[in-house]
Amino acid sequence: MEQVKQYRGDIGVFGILVLALMAVGGGTLMFGGSWLLLLGGSAYYLIAGLLYLLAATMLFQGRVAGTWIVALLTLATAIWAWWETGGDGWDMLPRMSATMVLAVMLCIWLLRLRNTGRSVRRTLWPLPVATLAGLVIWAAAFATGGENNVVTATRSGTAQVDATMPADASGQDWQAYGGTNAAMRYSTLTQITSDNVDDLELVWEYHTGDMPAGETEGKYSPENTPLKVGDTIYVCSAMGIITAVNPVSGEELWRYDPAVAPQSIPYGATCRGVAYFDTTIATTPNPTTEAGLPDIGAAKPDSQPVLAGDVCSTMIIYGTLDARLIAIDATTGLPCPEFGDAGEVNLLDGLGETVPGWYVMTSPPTIVNGIAVLGAQVKDGQAEDAPSGVIRGYDARTGDLAWVWDMGAPDRTGAPAAGETYTRGTPNMWTIAAGDDDLGLVYLPMDNSSVDYYGGNRSPAENEFSTSLVALDVATGAVAWSFQTVHNDLWDYDLGSQPSLVDFPANGFTVPAIVLASKQGDIYILDRETGEPLTGVEERPVPQGGVEPDYLSPTQPFSTWHSLARPDLTESDMWGMTLFDQLYCRIQFRQAHYDGIYTPPTSDAHWIQYPGYNGGSDWGSLAIDPKRGIILANYNDVPNYNRLVPRAEADALGLRAINEHKAKGETSLGEAGAQKGSPYAIDVNAGWRVPFTGLLCKEPPYGGLRAIDLATGETLWDRPFGTARRNGPWGIPTFIPAELGTPNNGGAVVTAGGVAFLAAATDNLFRAVDITTGQTLWSVVLPAGGQANPFTYEADGIQYIGIMAGGHHFMETPVGDSVLVWALPGLIPPQK
């Protein structure tokens, strides 16, 4: 007893702090661990909590044997963490961090003890030894490199194919969002190679001047890919301000401001791009019959050339957040007087009721054979009675309506009669279409219905065309074919990626094909004339149940080509910063409904949607190297944690649709949608984030970069993409340079020089990657987030690579207004 009293007297303030942390942590683990065990989860947390409480009690009493318990638990935790993660250092982080910090603190305290006697000090050795052993095991996990830390390189692609390369694909220009309407995001330029890319130098940086302030604060996500045509670059800012820039010097040539009101911003202020139209080489649409309908049988006459120098002989055509289709002279930036009403077409005509921010244009139109084809973004989750998702084709020269595709009224070919509207609530196309001038087809990646997570009230047309790739005859607007990637979509798995056109090797021949990526991580390769799959597509059984068991499809299509192929989540995939938030995520996992991909939406408890609605592939789309036969896909790998909220509960919380008067004292349900007209609102935890740290519940990687053999679908290499240098708990950057794999938005450009360029990740880095190995060859820190697709071009014999660093509010990267361009030194002309 004398030794115990003497020992207790030496505890000190630091010792009290250590033992208090141990006791509180042990109690928390014991309580949460008991809960987890009752839910059928791991017993580790309960056992660890009991042992920490026992050790804290013994040490407070002066019984040094308590250190032996901590030593045993520290070593056992390291072994358990290695076993459960497969020896991945980053996956071990939440399992090891708090354990090792507590062990080290206890060691420091024990070293500070005085008057304990030599015999007592001799009994303390197991703890420092166990602590050191735990650190060695953890370090070994980092050194050996778990699956999240490895670049797996195998070989180059086997398909040496000539993809669809239009006449404007020489590499000198970047004439459309995806480079050309074929949308491969590929350049034939070879000046920049894997051998010299590390020498790139910044040539110029241009600022649009469009930055958020006041009502627009926290809402900017420009996502813009500038075009380069001839001697001009065309930039579209977040609020739709168009500027023309010299491609060599970055000097501003002209500016056009459409004066969009801040109230028109939907989720974010976005302008992904504009369309360039040369009236001297375009073809007019088919003539019409006396009834005003397209004359399908008539030959298409060549357009009458417009003399160079005439007003609007070349045009920039784009849509705005306040739903105007605008045409301006590509040379002067002045409105085209013969287009629509003094250069504008009101896209709200025929829609019926809407409010600012509900129906907006964020993507450029696709111009095929002189017809500008466009959809629009209809803000998700608001109401079944939303503005129509109608697709419209306009004469690119005059702005006249050529045709409409209203899936709810298939016989409608023009604007609705007075007092009527386009069919409300139908799926829309918010992303970018691709086009084939030779076939006269435009390819539409379609969204889901306005209410994403409830389908019982949908029409047959909605069920047929939602989440489908639809090919329209650009002369008439008639459906040529459609291919559905999700049947009866209840997961917001809309097609966000622009498809790409290639000539695909099949049975010894090349077939005109279209390559389509999905948010589930599937890659479909279809005959672009017929829509028939050219690669494996299987209908597989999927989970059933939820609130709409009769609406669910018993099977869903799965492609054998993948950008993201991951096993189902398990409890051990949960992550966090410490044992405590990992325990929280494990409890959430066990409480939720989850039976793998396509787990049905539920209301009694949350359900896990994996992948979430942001990935695999989104609007950044695929990049394809046709010469090497490689598909390059950057992807997201994060789940969502969702719950359908019964209407009475949502109303009581004040959740309202965009067109309703907001309730006083409105209560947020996370990223919620009212889904008016259905029995349920929706509460979405995008990325499944821990509320008290902001970290994600799933272990990394959260994003990756994969090269896929175009001919076989085999993975050539796959790597995590994005470092943690800008990420951390509570939004505090960790500055850790390791490639953990972050969420990413934006795509890549691949070049004939063997180099791919992309930013996209949340670390504000712009990278050059070797297309054959996946190794990063060059990187530079951007002044803001790089959530945009790069572009490359040639001017005066010099290859340039550029990107808009505009940032992204949803991705939580810094917002900016910069367009930056690099080239190789020694070739850069002197700047005035």
The reported pLDDT for the residue numbered 163 is 46
Give me the pLDDT at residue 145, please: 64
CB contact at 8 A, 306 and 320 = no
- Encode 236-256: b = buried (16+ Cβ within 10 Å), e = exposed: bbbbbbbbbbebbbbeeebeb
Q: Collapse the DSSP code of 289 into the 3-class scheme (helix H, G, I; strand E, B; otherwise coil) and give the result.
A: coil
Average pLDDT over the chain, rounded to an integer: 90
Cα gap 249→828, rounded to integer Å: 10
pLDDT reported for residue 111: 76
Token digits for 706? 């994969």
In whole angstroms, give the CA distance from residue 358 to residue 264.
Answer: 8
Structure tokens at 228: 């380069």
What would the two tokens of residue 701 be?
């990687």
Burial class (CB in 10 A: 0-12, 13-18, 19+), 435: buried
Q: What is the pTM of this model?
A: 0.92
Residue type, 655: L
Residue 345: what pLDDT? 98
Q: How far apart are CA 140 and CA 165, in angstroms?
A: 49
Give the Cα-Cα-Cα angle 624, 629, 630 (nearest 5 degrees).
Answer: 50
In this prediction, residue 296 carries a pLDDT of 33
Specify whether the CB–CB gap between 790 and 224 falls below 8 A.
no
Q: How big is the chain, counted in residues?
A: 832
Task: Find, among 757, 796, 795, 765, the residue nearest to 783 by Cα.
Answer: 765
- Residues whose CB is less than 8 angstroms from the CB of residue 535 and which lie 6 or more positions away in sequence, other chains included: 524, 525, 559, 560, 561, 713
CA distances in angstroms from 416 to 40, 326, 349, 365, 366, listed in the order given: 58, 22, 9, 22, 23
Tokens of 347: 């896209």
Cα dihedral 539/541/546/552 (nearest 10): 40
Q: What is the pLDDT of residues 459-488, one digit of tens each?
A: 999 999 999 999 999 999 999 999 999 999
3-state secondary structure 648-687: HHHHHCCCCCCCCCCCCCCCCCCEEECCECCCEEEEEEEC
In angstroms, the CA 523 to CA 536 distance is 10
CA 322 – CA 221 distance, rounded (Å): 16
Residues of the chain with pLDDT under 50: 1-8, 147-151, 163-168, 284-308, 665
pLDDT at 701: 94
Q: Which two tokens stand for residue 318?
A: 């784009």
Q: Give 780's Cβ-side CA count (13 Å radius).
A: 18
Give the burial string for 140-159 (b: 16+ CB within 10 Å, else e): ebbeeebebbebebeebbbb
736 forms bridges with which residues in the sheet?
A: 724
Q: Kindly list the catalytic residues.
A: 492
Kindly tell me the burial class for residue 479, based on how many C-beta atoms sit within 10 Å of its own C-beta (0-12, 13-18, 19 or more).
middle
Distance (Å, whole) CA 259 – CA 344 = 13
Residue 615 and residue 618: Cα distance in Å, rounded? 6
Can you give the pLDDT at residue 113?
Answer: 65
